[in-house]
Amino acid sequence: MPQRSAKLRVTTKDVAARAGVSQPTVSLVLSRSAHARVAPETRERVLKAAAELGYRPNVLARGLVQRRSYALGIIVPDIRNPFFADVISGAERVAAEEGYAVLLCEAGDAIPAERHLETLHGRLIDGVILDAVGAAALDENMLQGLNVVLIDEPPGGRWPGVATDAAGAGRLAAEHLLALGHRRFAFIGPAVDVHGLRLRERGFVQALRSAGVALESAALRRAPATVAGGQAAMRALLADAAAGGLPRPTALFCANDLVALGALKACATAGVRVPETLSIVGCDDIEMARLVTPELTTVAVPARELGARAARLLIRQLADPPDAKPDAKPDAGRPSQRPLPVRLVTRGSTAAPPPPDDAAAVARAPQRPRRVPRKGGR
């Protein structure tokens, strides 16, 4: 029995008895405080009694009758990815402030998103935030009768979403590298189909194309969006370059910072100098990006704000459901808000490409690490 002290819980009935009023009156006073169609004197008595008894409303009971739980679900693929930790943190903050609980779900190998949705459904969750769990591929009726907000998922579906300017992020990275003078690029992207990351890729590739530069397919790698994935992909990239099968890229863009950090690490291990030989740009601007050497140039994405915004949108959606109030302002806020802006953060991992003579440096990367004096402070 999870509940020790069986009969010790104070209910509205107890409060009613002590205040000398009926039980519904107590409910009236204690629930929607503003509505208050109750005599001020009675209200006082009820509040006093409740306080004295230490009354706490039973949210489950309220939920049963109202068919809702005042709780939000949030499903992410990986809690340990700092980006998602930020998103969760932002959503939790807003939810808690608005009186909603947050049911955290990690979708993955062990328990897929579908099963989490099943569970959440059974708990009469008010709404759910899905971030990068492939909502497009989800069974349509899993979301049936649920209020959903998508984060960085493809738009156009039944559900509203919040998003970052993912394509813009890729574009910023490309433009930065192009401006530095780079012409031979590589990209490490996600192995699975995550919309937000794919959009970054697309933005990057298209910006290159606009500049008349092509990204050769051998320079496009796929790996899990983790440090280990980035590390492995970079190793493979270097090995292929050494074997002569690559057009010797001088600049690398990674779908997120974890991958970029893994790539950076692989470079350090292999003795490839960053940024002298290879420039690397990440995406997200997680805290870690500023701690490595050289500091990672990246595109900052406001993850926490993203989570907060998703929660706010979801909660607002609960207040005035999409179906109701067709006379409300045409499309005030209902359509997905415009994407959150991203911005380039230039740090130490990018520089002008090596002079032509040295351009083959990646291919003949020394086996033993070699260091070079760093340029500036910071």
Residues that bind DNA in the complex, under the rule CB under 7 A:
9, 11-13, 20-25, 27-28, 30-32, 37-39, 41-43, 55-58, 61-62, 64-67
Closest separation in Å from C-beta 99 to its own copies: 8
For DNA, give the closer residue by CB, 5 or 217.
5
| CB 19 to DNA: min, Å | 9
Q: Where is 300: in which H helix or E strand?
A: strand 297-300
> Among residues 246 and 303, whose Cβ is nearest to its own copies?
303
Instruction: Return the one option of DNA, its own copies, none that residue 82 interacts with (CB less than 5 to 8 A, by type).
Output: its own copies
323 binds, among its own copies, DNA, none (CB under 5 to 8 A by kind): its own copies
User: Which amino acid does the sequence have at 280?
Assistant: I
Rounded CA gap, 346 and 135, in Å? 33
For residue 20, is it left (φ>0), alpha (ψ between -120 and 50) or beta?
left
Closer CB to its own copies, 96 or 214, in the complex = 96
Among its own copies, DNA, none, what binds residue 28 when CB lies within 5 to 8 Å by partner kind?
DNA
- Nearer Cβ to DNA (57/154): 57
Neighbours of 54 (CB within 10 A): 10
Closest of 139, 146, 152, 142 to residue 72, by C-alpha:
146
For residue 103, give both structure tokens. 């049911």
- In sequence order, the 6+-apart residues with CB closer than 8 A to the CB of 180 are 251, 279, 350, 351, 352, 353
Q: Give the nearer residue to its own copies in terms of CB position, either 39 or 60.
A: 60
Length of the chain: 378
For residues 70 and 211, which CB has a smaller minimum distance to its own copies in the complex?
70
Q: Which of DNA, its own copies, none is residue 212 near (CB under 5 to 8 Å by kind)?
A: none
Which residue, 68 or 235, is less far from DNA as judged by CB?
68
Task: Give the dihedral of Cα atoms 77, 79, 81, 82; nearest 10 deg.
Answer: 140
Closest approach of Cβ 113 to DNA, in Å?
23
CB contact set of 345 (below 8 Å; sequence gap of 6+): 285, 289, 297, 298, 299, 300
283 neighbors 256 (Cβ within 8 angstroms): yes
How far apart are CB 70 and DNA at their closest, in Å?
10
Q: CB of 11: closest distance to its own copies in angstroms?
A: 11
Q: Cα(300)–Cα(331) distance, rounded to whole angstroms?
A: 29
Q: State the minimum distance, in angstroms, from the CB of residue 126 to DNA.
A: 14
| Contact partner, 30, from its own copies, DNA, none, Cβ < 5-8 Å per class | DNA
C-beta of 49: minimal distance to its own copies in Å?
18
Rg for the chain, CA atoms, rounded:
27
